[in-house]
């Protein structure tokens, strides 16, 4: 994985496989403690306590094509390299919350990447899933809720090219606005 938005894409696929229809994605930078947090909270079918324990083991996976699953182990590795950690909470029947933390200015922290590209690809693959995307940097905050988009669009599906383009441009602009000058890779 070259950046955090690709990890995000990978982890959200787990939520989708768990049948989630509403997924919250938050990227939060806190400069007072120099940490970056990425939180993914879904309403999928959740995992047992035993599965939560074992899911960071690369030899545990739900996939059937092979017995190796690298998505979560890779992300955990990248968190820990920067002085952060990976936290997982899950309840069967309720959903799962994954929080990845990173040292904001660690040399080993991967760039954030384009959250907008990840989100447009996800909408394209299943336009019926609801997302909430939140960018927070200290006191600045932006939130885009798919409920609000659907309210405006009425019966037009979200995978319409013009809608996808709007979502992409909106998120790219806000990512730059919120994190510009704070994350090293995004100029102010």
Partner 1 sequence: MKSLAELEAIRQRAKADLAARTDGGRKVVVGMATCGIAAGARPVMNAMVEELRTRNVNDIAVTMTGCIGVCRLEPIVEVIEENGDKVTYVKMDATKAKRVVVEHLINGQICQDLTIGADEAEAKAKAKA
According to the binding rule CB under 8 A, does residue 52 interact with partner 1?
Answer: no
From the CB of 127, what's the least distance to partner 1, in Å? 10
- DSSP secondary structure of 33-87: TTEEEEEEEE-S----HHHHHHTTSTT--S-SS-S---HHHHHHHHHHHTT--EE
Per-position x/- string for 70-89, each x denoting binding to partner 1 as judged by CB under 8 A, each - no binding = xx--x---------------
Is the distance from CB of 8 to CB of 40 less than 8 angstroms? yes
According to the binding rule CB under 8 A, does residue 60 interact with partner 1?
Answer: no
From the CB of 35, what's the least distance to partner 1, in Å? 25
How many alpha carbons lie under 13 Å from residue 127 in its C-beta half-sphere? 14
Judged by CB under 8 A, the stretch of 6-14, 21-29, 30-38, 88-96 that binds partner 1 is 6-14
In the chain, the DSSP E strands lie at 22-30, 35-42, 86-91, 95-103, 130-137, 140-145
According to the binding rule CB under 8 A, does residue 187 interact with partner 1?
Answer: no
Residues that bind partner 1 (CB under 8 A): 1, 6, 9-10, 13, 17, 63, 65-66, 69-71, 74, 117-118, 120-121, 124-125, 148-149, 152-156, 160-166, 169-170, 173-174, 177
């Amino acid at each position: 994985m070259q950046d955090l938005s690709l990890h995000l894409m990978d982890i959200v696929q787990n939520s989708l496989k768990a049948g989630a229809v509403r997924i919250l994605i938050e990227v939060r930078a806190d400069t007072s403690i120099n940490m970056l947090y990425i939180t993914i909270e879904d309403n999928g079918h959740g995992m047992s306590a035993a599965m939560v324990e074992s899911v960071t083991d690369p030899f545990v996976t739900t996939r059937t094509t092979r017995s190796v699953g690298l998505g979560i182990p890779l992300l955990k590795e990248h968190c820990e390299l920067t002085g952060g950690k990976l936290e997982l909470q899950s309840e069967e029947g309720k959903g799962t919350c994954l929080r990845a933390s990173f040292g904001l200015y660690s040399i080993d922290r991967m760039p954030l990447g384009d959250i907008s590209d990840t989100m447009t690809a996800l909408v394209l693959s299943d336009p019926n899933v609801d997302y909430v995307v939140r960018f927070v940097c200290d006191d600045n905050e932006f939130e885009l809720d798919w409920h609000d988009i659907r309210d405006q669009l009425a019966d037009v599906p979200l995978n319409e090219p013009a809608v996808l383009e709007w979502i992409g441009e909106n998120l790219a602009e806000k990512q730059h606005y919120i994190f510009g000058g704070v994350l090293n890779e995004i100029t102010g």
